[in-house]
Amino acid sequence: MNTATSNTLNNGKSKRTKPQAGAIPIVSISKRNKKHHLQQSIINIIENATGQSLSVTRNEMSERDLFFLGLQYIITTKKTYCFALDIPIEAGCRYKRFFERSGKLVQSIDKVRCPVTKHWASLITTNPRNFDCLRKSYNRQLTLF
């Protein structure tokens, strides 16, 4: 039993124990595993869609083309996508702006929680079949104007 996160029973009452020195909290481990699992699932989707490994795809095309290609198969936040493919976030911003201006990328109107940063963010995709879905707001709040 891990004393860092377990509750001990003492005469019918639960008592939170202090973590031992050098103990790694379970919360931080599970967060790392979630991010790693998310990264692997995005990589697996791209590899299954292209039929080749991500390293081969990276060697064959530029980082901007890889950014566009992967978003054909995935709807996610920019930060999550950049995290999964090890694309610098600054470069991801440039690629997003380039494809938005050319009309090949659409950002959602509604905000969702980013799985990486836990902040509110928009979803993005380059798949034209999903453009209408992301442009449509699912918020039932009435607008004033």
pLDDT in tens, 88-131: 999 999 999 999 999 999 999 889 999 889 999 999 999 999 89
Strands of 106-113's sheet in order across: 76-77, 120-125, 106-113
pLDDT tens digits along 13-50: 444 444 444 443 333 345 667 888 888 999 999 999 99
Phi first, then psi: what are they for 47, rounded to 5°? -65, -40
The reported pTM is 0.71
pLDDT at 9: 43
Q: Which two tokens stand for residue 7?
A: 């509750």
Topology adopted by domain 28-135: Arc Repressor Mutant, subunit A (1.10.10)
Nearest CA among 19, 24, 28, 31 for reference residue 7: 19
pLDDT at 34: 82
Q: Which two tokens stand for residue 133?
A: 């879905």
pLDDT of 82 > 90? The answer is: yes
